Amino acid sequence: MSLWSKKNRIVITCGKGITPFLNEEVLSLGLPILSEGVAHVETEGTMFDAMRLNLLVRTGHRVLFLLETFHAKNPDGLYEKISRIQWEDYIPEDGYICVTSTVETPTIQDSRFANLKCKDAMVDRIKRKCGRRPDSGPKRDRTVIHLYWKGEVCFVYLDTSGEPLSKRGYRKIPLRAPMQETLAAAVILATGWKGDRNFVNPMCGSGTLAIEAALIALGRQPGLLKSNYGFMHLKGFDESLWKGLKKKTKAVSKKSLNWKIIATDISQQAVEAAEKNAATAGVEQWIEFKVCDYSDTPIAEGRGIIMLNPPYGERIGELKELGPVYKGIGDFFKKRCNGYMGYIFTGNLDLAKQVGLRTKKRLLFFNGNIECRLLAYDLYEGSRKR
Ligand SMILES: C[S@@+](CC[C@H](N)C(=O)[O-])C[C@H]1O[C@@H](n2cnc3c(N)ncnc32)[C@H](O)[C@@H]1O
């Protein structure tokens, strides 16, 4: 059976703690959940489903299509088993391959050695079968193979994403301490935001939260912003099928929004970067930008979400100076944001206590290795702490 018609297991990796959101996205595409871990979800489908996942999920990083599973005790065993896979059916002999891996096996200390063995076995086989071999190296812009080797069990995947999906491509100017795009999307999905109320984002930095909020509200898939995927560099890739999928996806996105998205920052440089990033993402006309202190952010009339990702002292800002800032955010919420749901995304719970409001919910996230919380505040009159 050809690669493009067979059904197999598909692993979608994600940031630590994002699994529940990715889970929901996968289910909403009509695909089953076979298993899940701290940083991945496993489903089942065809390469066409892998293409859909690449295009349609907001919170996943890599879509890995399982090719083979086998046992290998040592590097020579790996070479031998990898040599048996019909690579000439999948990879063009004039192509380029990159092998990545996660290795937890006693006979290998450095995963790069496993990558090398795997790559050698692949190119040697293709040379034997086709008379020439593809180039190889660290670039992930063409065919990418992922090896997961635990104990004596090896899983060989086609990394259908190539460059990770977290690199949406719109953040040309990231500034300092930006949130990863997939994390920003998960944090927004956690609020239930669907574009049916206002979204206000003071301290917007490079604009990631406001941009992801606009993309979600418009029903625009971030995958449309990326033009190169790993699956495009496999034999048998049907470009017209991919174009059709993109066309269908574009057709269902909204052309206008009824509610406001507002993004502000005290730094003019940040607002300029956020504006440029929003333009690259194609959503600049849906976001109102302003340079101002967070406390002067215009609050649109009606119901809405107000979300801040203030500095939390790990990377920028000093802890001492930040205490009054967090207290100020609490005052700002109380005085100016009545009727809104307030959210603070922070990696410092001591600082968060300075906000002085009762939290309605506290959700655990990770920004890289930093444990973070999304704190939710219901900003109706009675929510104030006594
Ligand atoms: C952690 S960064 C936000 C990063 C953003 N989520 C992103 O993805 O790029 C915090 C931002 O708060 C801004 N900021 C700090 N103090 C501020 C204040 N008093 N009023 C408004 N913005 C402030 C900084 O300029 C910085 O851009």
Q: For the segment 288-346, what is each residue's pLDDT rounded down to a tens digit?
A: 999 999 999 999 999 999 999 999 876 555 677 899 999 999 999 999 999 999 999 99
pLDDT tens-digit readout, 104-160? 999 888 999 999 999 999 999 999 999 999 999 999 999 999 999 999 999 999 999
What residue owns the CA closest to ligand 1's atom 7? 178
Q: Which atom of ligand 1 is nearest to the CA of 310?
A: 10
- Indicate if the pLDDT at residue 20 is higher than 90: yes
H helix or E strand, kind and range, residue 257:
none
pTM: 0.93
Percent of the chain with pLDDT over 90: 89
Cα separation of 372 and 156, whole Å?
A: 33
- Token code pair at residue 129: 């079968």
Cβ of 265 less than 6 Å from ligand 1: yes
Angle between helices 111-130 and 75-83 (to 10 degrees): 30
CA distances in angstroms from 35 to 9, 120, 283, listed in the order given = 10, 32, 35
Residue pair 142/98 in contact by the 8 Å Cβ criterion: yes
What is the Å distance from ligand 1's center to 168 Cα? 21
Cβ of 266 less than 6 Å from ligand 1: yes
Residue pair 56/215 in contact by the 8 Å Cβ criterion: no
Cβ of 267 less than 6 Å from ligand 1: yes
CA distances in angstroms from 92 to 126, 134, 208, 323, listed in the order given = 9, 7, 37, 58
What residue owns the CA closest to ligand 1's atom 26? 205
Cβ of 179 less than 6 Å from ligand 1: yes
DSSP secondary structure string for all residues of 26-81: HHHTTPPP-EEETTEEEEEE-HHHHHHHHHH-SSEEEEEEEEEEEE-SSHHHHHHH
Q: What is the mean pLDDT of residues 243-253?
A: 95
| pLDDT at position 29 | 97
Residue among 158, 138, 134, 139 at smallest CA distance from 51: 158
Q: Is 109 helix (H, G, I), strand (E, B) or coil?
A: coil
Q: Is 3 helix (H, G, I), strand (E, B) or coil?
A: coil
Cβ of 120 less than 6 Å from ligand 1: no
Cα separation of 239 and 159, whole Å?
A: 18
Cβ of 293 less than 6 Å from ligand 1: yes
Residue pair 383/358 in contact by the 8 Å Cβ criterion: yes
